[in-house]
């Protein structure tokens, strides 16, 4: 199931990179899968407890709100992070958000350098969907285990 979640996250990341928006229906697919899995199996898609998935949903939605309030993230980014929390559970979404923040930091530095060199026009925000997808892949393919191995 991790591959399916990864493909879903990558699809959202690619869509956001291409259009600078994340459609609600794409996020709802992941959230529906998380809720249905919890209802049928009694645990999350990746084996997380219902409590962990619920807390992951809440924390995944709350942590990006500061970026949304500052105008740096869109509402779709916040909803995507919350859905990732429901799918990955609390520890998974925390790792995914940390990895995403690192990817966005590097992307921002690269973007600023390109503006300084005159190779790119100024945009309001950098799409966060691709970074969130990379963060999800980091978790799905045992990124934290690699870090502490």
Chain centre to alpha carbon of residue 143 = 15
Q: Mean pLDDT for the chain?
A: 90
Q: How far apart are CA 67 and CA 71, in angstroms?
A: 6
- What pTM value is reported for the model? 0.89
Q: How far apart are CA 122 and CA 48, in angstroms?
A: 41
Q: What is the DSSP letter of 76?
A: H
The pair of structure tokens assigned to 85 is 């929390």
What are 102-149's pLDDT values in tens digits?
Answer: 999 998 888 888 777 777 666 667 889 999 999 999 999 887 665 554
Q: What is the pLDDT of residue 2?
A: 85
Handedness of CA 129, 63, 144, 27 (dihedral sign): negative
SS3 label, residue 117? coil
Other CB atoms within 10 A of residue 62 CB: 13
SS3 label, residue 43? coil
Q: What is the pLDDT of residue 147?
A: 54
Residue 45 near residue 34 (C-beta atoms within 8 A): yes
Residue 149 domain-assigned? no
Residue 109 domain-assigned? yes
Helices 50-62, 75-116: inter-axial angle, 10-degree rounding: 50
Number of domains comprising the chain: 1
Range of the domain at 84: 2-144
Other CB atoms within 10 A of residue 100 CB: 26
Mean pLDDT of 59-74: 93
Q: What is the pLDDT of residue 56?
A: 97
Mean pLDDT of 43-71: 94
Q: How far apart are CA 9 and CA 79, in angstroms?
A: 12
Mean pLDDT of 12-25: 96
């Amino acid at each position: 199931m991790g591959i399916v979640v990864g493909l879903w996250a990558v699809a959202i990341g690619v869509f956001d990179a291409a259009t600078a928006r994340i459609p609600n229906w794409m996020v709802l697919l992941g959230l529906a899968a998380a809720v249905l899995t919890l209802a049928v199996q009694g645990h999350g898609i990746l084996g997380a407890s219902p409590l962990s998935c619920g807390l992951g949903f809440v924390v995944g939605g709350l942590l990006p709100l500061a970026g949304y309030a500052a105008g740096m993230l869109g509402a779709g980014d916040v909803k995507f992070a919350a859905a990732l929390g429901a799918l990955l559970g609390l520890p998974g979404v925390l790792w995914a958000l940390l990895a995403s923040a690192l990817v966005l930091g590097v992307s921002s530095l690269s973007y600023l350098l390109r503006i300084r060199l005159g190779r790119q026009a100024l945009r309001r925000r950098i799409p966060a969907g691709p970074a969130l997808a990379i963060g999800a892949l980091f978790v799905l393919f045992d990124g934290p285990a690699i870090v502490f191995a």
